[in-house]
């Protein structure tokens, strides 16, 4: 991992895991301790936000709930698959303590069907099902930007 002084943040996009609060803090902590090396997004969310899907080699600045830059990650793999095809390795590498794909799915559906997600999607009835296209992203921690940590 690079020293934070050796990482150029200019031009890097912002990476936000979940919404600010307890979940984001948990996810950012898992990125920083190395237990989170994958994440999942809904293609419809990227479309709604007008954002391109992540690309291999792309780097981004991870922010915490206070919008402070705490890390730089680099995308190492991107797959678009229907929800039904999420595999156990991906679920485990999310670093959230899931021990099965079923547990991973329950946790993610709870998030995707939450009032916050539905508000973010401007759709009070937003839902996912087996056919919903997801973005499965793997990444590596490039730099820990917290002072004195590297």
Dmax (CA) of the chain: 45
Q: What is the pLDDT of residue 6?
A: 62
**Bridge partners of 60?**
13, 73
Q: How far apart are CA 111 and CA 117, in angstroms?
A: 7
Q: What is the pLDDT of residue 9?
A: 79
Q: Which of 7, 20, 5 is nearest to 60 (CA)?
A: 7
Instruction: Annotate 74-112 with b (16+ C-beta within 10 A) or e (fewer).
Output: ebeebeeeebeebeeebbbbbbbebeebeebbebbeebb
Q: What is the pLDDT of residue 150?
A: 45
pLDDT per residue as tens, the chain (150 positions):
655 556 677 889 999 999 999 999 999 999 999 999 999 999 999 999 999 999 999 999 999 999 999 999 999 999 999 999 999 999 999 999 999 999 999 999 999 999 999 999 999 999 999 999 999 999 999 999 987 554
Q: Which of 66, 99, 63, 104 is nearest to 84 (CA)?
A: 104
Q: What is the pLDDT of residue 11?
A: 85
Q: What is the pLDDT of residue 147?
A: 74
């Amino acid at each position: 991992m690079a020293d934070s002084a050796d990482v150029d943040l200019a031009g890097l996009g912002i990476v936000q895991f979940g919404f600010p609060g307890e979940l984001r803090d948990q996810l950012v902590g898992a990125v920083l301790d190395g237990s989170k090396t994958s994440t999942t997004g809904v293609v419809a969310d990227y479309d709604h936000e007008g954002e391109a899907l992540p690309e291999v080699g792309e780097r981004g600045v991870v922010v915490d709930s206070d919008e402070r830059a705490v890390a730089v990650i680099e995308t190492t793999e991107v797959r678009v698959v229907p929800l039904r095809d999420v595999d156990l390795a991906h679920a485990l590498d999310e670093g959230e303590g899931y021990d099965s794909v079923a547990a991973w799915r329950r946790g993610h559906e709870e998030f995707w069907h939450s009032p916050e997600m539905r508000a973010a999607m401007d759709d009070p009835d937003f839902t996912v099902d087996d056919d919903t296209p997801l973005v499965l992203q793997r990444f590596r921690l490039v730099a820990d930007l917290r002072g004195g940590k590297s």
